[in-house]
Amino acid sequence: MSDIQITNCHTHLFTAAHVPKTYPHWALIPIKRVPWLTALIAWVLAFLGFQEAAEQVRRLRRFQEETSSADQRNILQNMCRHYPKGTRFVVLPMDLSQIGYGPPEVQIAEQHDDLARLAATDEFGKELIPFAMIDPRSDPLANELWRAVDTLGFRGIKLYPRMGYAPTDKTLMSLVYPKAEEKGLPVMTHCSRGGVKGHGLPDRIADAYTDPAAYLPVLKEFPRLKICLAHFGGQRDWDAYVNPEPPSPYHDERTRNWQVMIRQMITSGDHPNLWTDISYTLFDFEEYIPFLRTFLEGPTKEHERLRRRVLFGSDYYMTRQEELSERAVCIRLRNALGEDLFRQIAEINPQVWLGERQEPADGLWR
């Protein structure tokens, strides 16, 4: 294989200390405190013949083991083992203080400080690219966000509207996007029907905050802002596209498919600074990779626009819940796409998105 400097544009290092103790349900507290309970539950389910449920519990245990790490450094060390030396990682912290499950033990400012210390070490300084997280409800003046960027040197911004706020929130529109556009800072935002949502928040409201169309006013007002709609619409929408038959044609992902919407928004040419990434979604590898390659290959200007706006990302360590390892998915993806396409999404596109490389007007890399 040729030498490609991989940039994984979507990773997480937060630990159990950054998550409210009662999330996602108070009944899980004993399992969090006594991790071997998950192994016992998995054994009982398997003994009773519920193999699929047993495997889901085993995946939960792997996820628990990662979150129970003592600190973000340990998770980063685990992640680095899956990648070639020199791979870089965009790290996205999470502020879960406003989702209705109580405050986490460690607040977002301390999480930012910890990432900054890691990024300043000789061990990880060249590999770690920290982004700053903002929930406008906990940081209405964006003071912590801009402290992380201006003082700590963070390279981008992380949003998660599904937690309970719109992408057009007044704090974002007045205090975040204008300055981010001016500074050329990339924005990574959750765009999948799954994931964390506020306690008691109806799915239809959470989906409305997350819908790709919710970003159209932002794209119109801030056309130079580099926004990445993470997860390329998410697994539910990819599954609905790949398998368009019932159970129900009335599910929104079948009538308003987010994966299709994101492709159309990018390939239209109307939003030249709109991006997407393939994090987590492509862990259903065998099912989706032929479609991804078809979307990216081809001679038309639409193919070229999409090819230049897809980023490699994995969503580590959320992917610890899956059967395939991080390394296995990365190698399979590289093999399936071929060196040129993989270099485009894993090296060239991240450099452009991060502002490290100028994109040629004619799209021809020399």
365 pLDDT band (50/70/90 cuts)?
A: very low
CA dihedral 325, 329, 335, 340 (to 10 degrees): -130
Instruction: Give the CA radius of gyration of the chain.
Output: 20
pTM, two decimals, is 0.87
238 pLDDT band (50/70/90 cuts)?
A: very high
For residues 272-294, average pLDDT: 86
Compute the mean pLDDT over every residue in the chain, rounded to the nearest whole number: 86
Task: State the pLDDT at residue 321.
Answer: 47
What string of H, E and C letters represents the secondary structure of the chain?
CCCCCCEEEEECCCCHHHCCCCCCCHHHHHHHHCCHHHHHHHHHHHHCCCHHHHHHHHHHHHHHHHHCCCCHHHHHHHHHCCCCCCCEEEECCCCCCCCCCCCCCCCHHHHHHHHHHHHCCCCCCCCEEEEEECCCCCCCCCHHHHHHHHCCCCCEEEECHHHCCCCCCHHHHHHHHHHHHHHCCCEEECCECCCCCCCCCCHHHHHHHHCHHHHHHHHHHCCCCCEEEHHHECHHHHHHHHCCCCCCCCCHHHHCCHHHHHHHHHHCCCCCCEEEECCCHHHCHHHHHHHHHHHHCCCCHHHHHHHCCEECCCCECHHHHCCCCHHHHHHHHHHHHCHHHHHHHHHHHHHHHCCCCCCCCCCCCC
Task: State the pLDDT at residue 333.
Answer: 87
41 has a pLDDT exceeding 70: no
In angstroms, the CA 366 to CA 364 distance is: 6
For residues 219-227, average pLDDT: 98
For residues 350-361, average pLDDT: 92
pLDDT digits (tens, 9 = 90+) for 315-331: 876 554 455 677 887 88
In angstroms, the CA 94 to CA 112 distance is: 10
For residues 345-353, average pLDDT: 97
Task: State the pLDDT at residue 124.
Answer: 93
Task: State the pLDDT at residue 8.
Answer: 96
Task: State the pLDDT at residue 87.
Answer: 95
CATH number of 7-22+71-353: 3.20.20.140
276 has a pLDDT exceeding 90: yes
pLDDT digits (tens, 9 = 90+) for 143-182: 999 999 999 999 999 999 999 999 999 999 999 999 999 9
Which segment of 73-77, 132-136, 149-153, 310-314 scores lowest on mean pLDDT?
Answer: 73-77
